[in-house]
Amino acid sequence: MPRAILVTLGARDRLLADGVAMLAAHCNVSAAAVMRLDNLAEHALHPDDGVIAACFADETSFVVAASRPRAVRALLTFAGVACDDLDIEWLALPFDREALKREYGVPWYPVIDRTRCSGCGTCHDYCLFSVYAREPRAVASERVRVAAPLNCKTGCPACARICPEAALIFPFCAEAELNGEIETPQRRSSDALADVLGDDPMRVLAERRAKRKLIDHEKFAQAEEDRIRYSGIL
């Protein structure tokens, strides 16, 4: 029998129904048999704590229920879980979208949907905060990684808006196209990208690369920490 796991992304990920009861009914098991994995976005930053690994140990078949399964899949991959090698049934649960609109969920950072990433590096070139790094990989979808997730500016999903493949997910963004709610979001057309980058996207990206070198990242990190601490978000 598959292991039943209920996943929540964080404090701003609020289900509109009893997730344990829904998953137990779906799997025809008792509520006590449902394993919980809460605050996935936080644990994905610290996979060595063993919380995620414990959920997926000693089994190869799972039913994973969550508000936004695509976001969960990307976060698990980011944390080192080889989802493609496991037999996972994904179950989407109803959630409170308004909770995401009221306040930003934290930790705020992007994850990459490896099934869509083309390795183009647009996100790396556009981001001013050195969130991304390039890797010399043979597989195109592995050529960009989220190297410094907490460098990301809370509330900013700009890189996701310009990703040609719609491969970037911000789990706590309120927009369905960016938070993983939509399983197969539309790829960005050249016209849509032009709205953001203008008629000369290569020039815009080059300018942003140059600006990135001027940022004092240590001071920025301290400022962002202060902003979050005194905003009432935490």
pTM of the complete model: 0.83
Q: Is the pLDDT of residue 192 over 90?
A: no
| Last residue in a domain, options 70, 102, 134 | 102
The single-letter DSSP state of residue 28 is: T
| Last residue in a domain, options 46, 78, 102 | 102
pLDDT reported for residue 233? 47
Neighbours of 4 (CB within 10 A): 24
Residues 122 and 88 in one domain: no
Residues 173 and 123 in one domain: yes
Sequence letter at residue 76:
L
CA-based nearest residue to 157, from 127, 186, 187, 181? 127
Distances from the Cα of 195 to the Cα of 99, 106, 155, angstroms: 29, 29, 20
Distances from the Cα of 63 to the Cα of 58, 59, 72, angstroms: 15, 11, 13
**Could you give phi then psi for residue 51, rounded to 5 degrees?**
-65, -50
| Last residue in a domain, options 55, 80, 102 | 102
Q: Is the pLDDT of residue 74 over 90?
A: yes
Establish how many alpha carbons lie within 13 A of residue 159's alpha carbon, considering only the half-sphere containing its beta carbon: 30
pLDDT reported for residue 214? 54
Residues 16 and 61 in one domain: yes
Scanning 46-117, the segments in alpha helix (DSSP H) are 51-55, 69-78, 97-102
CA-based nearest residue to 65, from 126, 4, 10? 4
**Could you give phi then psi for residue 72, rounded to 5 degrees?**
-65, -45
Residues 93 and 184 in one domain: no
Mean per-residue pLDDT, 134-160: 93
> How are beta strands 61-66 and 87-92 bridged, if at all?
parallel
Q: Is the pLDDT of residue 170 over 90?
A: yes
* Burial profile 181-215: b = 16 or more Cβ within 10 angstroms, e = fewer: beeebeebeeeebeeebeeebeebbeeeeeebeee
Scanning the chain, the segments in alpha helix (DSSP H) are 19-27, 40-45, 51-55, 69-78, 97-102, 122-126, 158-162, 190-197, 201-212, 217-231
Q: Is the pLDDT of residue 209 over 70?
A: no
Residues 88 and 140 in one domain: no
Q: Is the pLDDT of residue 172 over 60?
A: yes
Domain count within the chain:
2
Mean per-residue pLDDT, 173-198: 81
Residues 20 and 56 in one domain: yes
Task: Point out the least confidently predicted range of 87-91, 119-123, 142-146, 208-212.
Answer: 208-212
Residues 69 and 142 in one domain: no
Residues 177 and 73 in one domain: no
How much of the chain exceeds pLDDT 70, in percent?
A: 80
> Chain-wide mean pLDDT for the chain?
87
- Structural domain that includes position 180: 111-231
The single-letter DSSP state of residue 153 is: P
pLDDT reported for residue 61? 95
pLDDT reported for residue 64? 98
pLDDT reported for residue 234? 45
CA distance 18 to 220: 40
Write out the H or E segment, with its range, that includes residue 134.
Answer: strand 132-134
pLDDT reported for residue 106? 87
Residues 93 and 122 in one domain: no
pLDDT reported for residue 75? 98
Distances from the Cα of 190 to the Cα of 52, 150, 175, angstroms: 38, 30, 21
pLDDT digits (tens, 9 = 90+) for 215-232: 556 665 665 566 556 555
Residues 121 and 227 in one domain: yes
Residues 226 and 122 in one domain: yes
pLDDT digits (tens, 9 = 90+) for 75-117: 999 999 999 999 999 999 999 999 998 888 889 999 999 999 9
Residues 79 and 133 in one domain: no
